Amino acid sequence: MFKGPRETRAFCDAFAPPEGVEAVICPPFVSLAAALESGHTIFAQNVHWADEGAFTGEISAPMLRELGIAGAIVGHSERRQYFGETDETVARRASAAIEHGLRVIACVGESLEEREAGQMELVLRVQVEAIAEAAGPHERLVIAYEPVWAIGSGLTATADQARDAHAFVKSILDVPVLYGGSVKPDNAGELLAEDGVDGALVGGGSLDVESFTAICQAASSLS
CATH code of the domain containing 133: 3.20.20.70
Write down the pTM of the prediction.
Answer: 0.96
Q: Can you tell me the distance from the alpha carbon of 193 to that of 117, in angstroms, rounded to the nearest whole number?
A: 28
Q: What does the pLDDT read at residue 79?
A: 96
What DSSP character marks residue 103?
E
**Is position 184 within any domain?**
yes
Spatial neighbors of 152 by CB under 8 A, at least 6 apart, are 182, 203, 204
The span from the first CA to the last CA of the chain, in angstroms, equals 31
Enzyme catalytic residues: 76, 146
Q: Can you tell me the distance from the alpha carbon of 131 to that of 177, in angstroms, rounded to the nearest whole number?
A: 13
Spatial neighbors of 38 by CB under 8 A, at least 6 apart, are 9, 12, 13, 15
**Is position 185 within any domain?**
yes
**Is position 117 within any domain?**
yes
The total number of structural domains in the chain stands at 1
**Is position 45 within any domain?**
no
Mean pLDDT by 10 residues, the chain (223 residues): 98 96 98 98 98 98 98 96 96 98 98 91 97 96 92 77 95 97 93 95 96 97 84
Measured in degrees and rounded to the nearest 5, phi and psi for residue 171 equal -70, -20
Q: Residue 142 is part of which domain span? A: 75-207
**Is position 110 within any domain?**
yes
**Is position 115 within any domain?**
yes
**Is position 218 within any domain?**
no
**Is position 124 within any domain?**
yes
